[in-house]
Amino acid sequence: MQDFILETPGKVKKPGKRGRKPAKIDLKAKLERSRQSARECRARKKLRYQYLEELVSSRERAICALREELEMYKQWCMAMDQGKIPSEIKALLTGEEQGKAQQNSTKLAKAAKTDANSSNPCKYPACD
């Protein structure tokens, strides 16, 4: 009896592997492809870590700026609790008042221009 043929009731099994047979593999080419792939992987990893480091540093800078701003607001609150109005807040308030005055004057000028143009039947300003 042959050793490589296993007999089972009703089935005969043949030796060998199913599917494609491996072609002759050029080991040097395979090794070079593997090395190239490893180089590319290391380069991608390096770029990814550089990007993440830049992201972390930008977030840290933003955190520092926000902490400074928070500290400034805390100082303003403490000054206002003592009955003092910080000069920065005064400047903001006067700037807002000036901005409102400018907006009102701009609105009045636009309204006057619209009234002047109401005699013009054309709705486009180029027809003035």
Task: Report, in this order, helix, strand and coil percent for the chain, each rounded to 5.
Answer: 70, 5, 25
Q: Is the dihedral of CA 79, 81, 85, 88 positive or negative?
A: positive
Asked if 86 and 76 count as a contact pair (C-beta separation under 8 A), the reply is yes
The whole-chain average pLDDT of the chain stands at: 79
Is-above-0.85 flag for pTM?
Answer: no
DSSP state of 124: S
- Give the total residue count for the chain: 128
Q: pLDDT tens for residues 12-25?
A: 666 666 766 666 67
Strands (E), the chain: 6-8, 11-13
User: 126 pLDDT band (50/70/90 cuts)?
Assistant: very low
* Residue ranges per structural domain of the chain: 27-94
Q: pLDDT tens for residues 23-41?
A: 667 888 999 999 999 999 9
